[in-house]
């Protein structure tokens, strides 16, 4: 799930990861870019047409995930965050990613079941949203024995 994704190139790259893994769907809450922006299509190399994708209000997506019993993991730079490799992604899982500039809103982090982080070993504190999505997605694939 992407909260308020802004940059078409990042959305396209996330869709490529979603196709490669594959994931069941990409959910876009309160999008700030058009799913069919030419840059999304180009960056996704057409995966915008192969990956089930839904854009809806964040509240509706969260209600859907709760109703279906899907555990939500907020990816965020937060002191309470657990390292992503310590989490169990084998069950129904939604990886929740924030905007490129600001990350997840405090309301979204609070709404999720758990906060996770990809530890940074260098000088910077975060990865590009599409790269972080790929790291987390393929950890879920690995845990499910699909790698």
Instruction: Name the H helices within 21-145.
Output: 38-43, 58-67, 106-111, 129-143
Q: What is the arithmetic mean of pLDDT over 62-69?
A: 98
Instruction: List CB contacts of 141: < 8 A, sequence separation 6 or more.
Output: 21, 147
pLDDT digits (tens, 9 = 90+) for 29-51: 999 999 999 999 999 999 999 99
pLDDT at residue number 100: 80
Distance of alpha carbon 72 from alpha carbon 88, whole angstroms: 11
User: 3-class DSSP state for residue 144?
Assistant: coil
What is the domain extent for residue 126? 2-143
CATH code of the domain containing 86? 3.40.1280.10
Encoded tokens for 64: 């859907």
* pTM, 2 dp: 0.94
Number of folded domains in the chain? 1
pLDDT, averaged across the chain: 95
């Amino acid at each position: 799930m992407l909260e308020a994704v802004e940059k078409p190139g990042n959305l396209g790259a996330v869709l490529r990861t979603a196709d490669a893994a594959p994931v069941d769907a990409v959910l876009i809450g309160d999008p700030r870019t058009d799913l069919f922006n030419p840059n999304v299509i180009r960056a996704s190399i057409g995966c915008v047409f192969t990956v089930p994708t839904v854009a809806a209000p964040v509240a509706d997506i969260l209600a859907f995930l709760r109703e279906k019993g899907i555990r939500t993991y907020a990816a965020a730079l937060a002191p309470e965050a657990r390292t992503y490799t310590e989490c169990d992604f084998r069950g129904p899982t939604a990886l929740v990613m924030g905007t490129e500039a600001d990350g997840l809103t405090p309301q979204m982090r609070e709404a999720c079941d758990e906060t996770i982080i990809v530890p940074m070993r260098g000088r910077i504190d975060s990865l590009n949203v599409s790269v972080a999505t790929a790291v987390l997605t393929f950890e879920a694939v690995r845990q499910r024995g699909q790698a």
